[in-house]
Amino acid sequence: MFVSTAALLGLVGAAAASPLNIVPNYPPVKQSTGFRLVVNVTDKALDFSPSVQGLYVNSIHVGAGLNEVGIGSKSDNHGIFYQNGTAAEGRFNGVTTITDQGTPLSPYGISLTLDPDSKTLSSAYANGGLGTKGVQISQFPEGFRYLGPETYVICNVPLAYYQGTKFNVVKQAATTISSTGQVERNIPEGCVPIRLLPECATLEDLPAGSYSSHEFAINSDCYADVASINWSLYGP
């Protein structure tokens, strides 16, 4: 009997893929109001050198009360974030993600603002203020926990505040559907597609006189230690 190599490979593939890869399996999560955001490079071929894998989201001061969202080592001024909103807002994508800064401590919400020359690419800011609703951690039935809306990217861009010195900053590329029905992720050339994963951290109590409030800080799903997750064990 004639059996094509392709059919044979298909059979081998099917055997290899079952049943381990069919049953969804995701890394364990804990709950915490506070979390750090850790960079996970989702396409290693597009990573920078040195790699941005495992770096932590921080903020780059670009004026009074103004910050670009940047990345750095864990010890380098990383932010502790929390999701703010009611339970109903949490379910319906109405939550914001906030870090407390300034004296007295005030809410600096992550906001996404479309770049002037683009229809899909937004810059991420952590300015004094409320932040953009829907910048929040994914939830069930999604199996992984990461900041939405997808897709976040790291781009190396000059910042005017630093006379054009280049920084690695977080931006967001909106997914679109082309006229032919093709899903376009719109990852800009030269930028690294990533996910920002919540790593549990202690949200400190606010000192008296703070402008921030943790009354609506949501108990969020987060990973205890992102660096220790072996991704090849999980999916789809």
Ligand X SMILES: *[C@@H]1O[C@H](CO)[C@@H](O)[C@H](O)[C@H]1NC(C)=O
Residue numbers at the binding site for ligand X (CB under 6 A):
40-42, 44, 84-86, 89, 96, 98, 107, 109, 130, 144, 146, 195, 197, 216, 230-233
Instruction: Compute the least distance from the CB of residue 41 to ligand X, in Å.
Output: 6
**In angstroms, rounded to a whole number, what is the distance separating the alpha carbons of residues 199 and 196?**
9
Q: 48 or 216, CB closer to ligand X?
A: 216
Please, which residue, 3 or 183, has the CB nearer to ligand X?
183
Q: Which is nearer to ligand X, 93 or 118 (CB)?
A: 93
State in angstroms the smallest separation of the CB of 182 from ligand X. Answer: 22
- Min. distance of Cβ 76 from ligand X in angstroms? 22
Output the smallest distance, CB 95 to ligand X, in A.
Answer: 8
The least distance separating ligand X from the CB of residue 128, rounded to whole angstroms, comes to 10
Cα distances from 138 to residues 146, 196, 210, 221, in angstroms, run 6, 11, 29, 9
Are 182 and 208 contacting, i.e. CB atoms less than 8 angstroms apart?
A: no
- For residues 167 and 216, which CB has a smaller minimum distance to ligand X in the complex? 216
User: Between 6 and 16, whose beta carbon lies closer to ligand X?
Assistant: 16
Cα angle at 228 between 97 and 187, to 5 degrees?
50
Residue 2 or 140 with smaller CB distance to ligand X:
140
Q: How far is the CB of 235 from ligand X (least distance, A)?
A: 7
Q: DSSP of 142-191, one letter per residue? A: SSS--BSSS-EEEEEEEEGGGTTEEEEEEEEE--EE-TTS-EE--PPTT-
CB atoms within 10 A of CB 151: 19
